[in-house]
Amino acid sequence: MLLKIHLILIVFTAGTFGSVQHNNLIIAVGDELEFLTDGNAYRTLTLNSYNATKLSSLAYDATTRKLFFSDQRHHYGHIFSVSLDNESHRPVEDIVEKNNNETVESLAYDPVNKMLLWTDGLNRAIRRVQIDNDPIHIEEKDGIEIVHFLENDAKPRGLVSDPCTRMLYWTNVHDSNPTIERSFLNGSHREIVLHSDLLLPNAFDLDIMEQMLYWAEDLHNGYFRIERSYVNGTGRQEFYRGMGSFIVSLTVGDDFVYWSDYNHKKIWCLRKDGSSRSPLSLGTFRNPALGLVVIHHQPVNCTMLSEDGQAEKSFAEKSEIITIAVCLTGTCLILMGIVAALIFRVWKSMGCQRLAFVSNKNEDDTFPFHYFDDYSNSYAMVEKATP
């Protein structure tokens, strides 16, 4: 009976705050691209007449339904694209040819100017190429422009662009002076967003609707952490701290943050609103997943992005309300548990007085713990079933 009330309360709490949904994801694992639907159904994307080697960074354009990917060990190309429109036929286009020592650490796509951008860590550059005619094939020297050529020892790594504000953000995993920086997509107005208390911000993404940057880094003591802040560097907070993982890729969906862990070859997710404490594994692979991207069905609707400040407030309010609700529900459940235990004790001691000769002290003492076990099991089950 009490258990039932708990279940109703939990379901009610979950229902009050709307349904939480997973985004579809594409994951670059070894020489394969995996498509993950609803957080549980995997299928491999077949690429026609293409021999992949080591797939890494990904970018997706919802306006043309094209996926861009880089292939680290491919003998003739750096960056390729494939249309996700047609299930049966997916020809791969070779976009940027490989002919010298350039690298591709991270890809970003700007649908407004049809521009593909990437970080070249080895040569300390952020490069771009216009993707306006179809098909496109570019030799490394022609058509490629440099957006930024960074100073000595800089190591650009993560890269994201914002089609609404026309901004570009990147991380610099410099050995002694790592930074998170931004500029306009055309390269002007470069500035440092964050420079203190950073170690190796290698996995990086932007939540466009909330105007928040997310990054993950290894803390060199067995711990890793995921942090977030508004795009101007304010409101910085630790989103999650864990142990024993090295995060290679991170992407932000509507309700969840997803990341890929090099050590355990797993994909993890955690709710953005802070309503769950521990991340959930979404699967283990044969190779570490080097790239991860959310597949949005629609291009970003920039009119839904509130004037600066508005989105920040609604986000802060939302997570505060949920935190309070979770605390209240928790307190309520604990109180009910205590009352139930007390009632049971009183009832039992009355029973024990009548049947003094069969009283069993041990059982009486351990009962509240039995009860607590039941409660936490049921809670865990419901929590797993709700997302």
**Under rule CB under 6 A, residue 327 binds ligand NAG:** no
Report the C-alpha gap between 24 and 36 in whole angstroms: 6
Q: Which of 44, 63, 263, 301 binds ligand NAG (CB under 6 A)?
A: 301
Angle, to 10 degrees, between the axis of helix 310-354 and the axis of helix 361-385? 150
Choice between 44 and 186, CB closer to ligand NAG: 186
**Under rule CB under 6 A, residue 99 binds ligand NAG:** no
**Under rule CB under 6 A, residue 49 binds ligand NAG:** yes
Choice between 110 and 261, CB closer to ligand NAG: 110
CB of 232 to ligand NAG, least distance (A): 16
The alpha-carbon radius of gyration of the chain (Å, integer) is 25
Separation in Å, CA 204 to CA 45, 88, 107, 217, 355 = 24, 33, 11, 9, 67
Contact yes or no for 331/338 (Cβ under 8 A): no
**Under rule CB under 6 A, residue 186 binds ligand NAG:** yes
Q: How many residues bind ligand NAG (CB under 6 A)?
A: 14
Choice between 185 and 292, CB closer to ligand NAG: 185
String of DSSP letters for 164-227: TTTEEEEEE--SSS-EEEEEETTS-S-EEEE-SS-S---EEEEETTTTEEEEEEE-SSSEEEEE
Q: Which residues pair with 240 in a beta bridge?
A: 226
Report the C-alpha gap between 69 and 217 in whole angstroms: 23
Choice between 74 and 266, CB closer to ligand NAG: 74
Q: Which of 5, 146, 219, 304 binds ligand NAG (CB under 6 A)?
A: 304
**Under rule CB under 6 A, residue 88 binds ligand NAG:** no
CB of 262 to ligand NAG, least distance (A): 25
Report the C-alpha gap between 149 and 153 in whole angstroms: 11
**Under rule CB under 6 A, residue 183 binds ligand NAG:** no
**Under rule CB under 6 A, residue 53 binds ligand NAG:** no
- In this structure, how many other beta carbons lie within 10 angstroms of the beta carbon of residue 258? 26
Tokens 């390729």 correspond to 80
**Under rule CB under 6 A, residue 366 binds ligand NAG:** no
Tokens 């009860």 correspond to 371
**Under rule CB under 6 A, residue 152 binds ligand NAG:** no
**Under rule CB under 6 A, residue 100 binds ligand NAG:** yes
**Under rule CB under 6 A, residue 133 binds ligand NAG:** no
Structure tokens at 258: 């997803």
**Under rule CB under 6 A, residue 8 binds ligand NAG:** no
Choice between 123 and 130, CB closer to ligand NAG: 123
Choice between 101 and 152, CB closer to ligand NAG: 101
* Residues that bind ligand NAG in the complex, under the rule CB under 6 A: 49-51, 100-101, 122-123, 166, 184, 186, 188, 301, 303-304
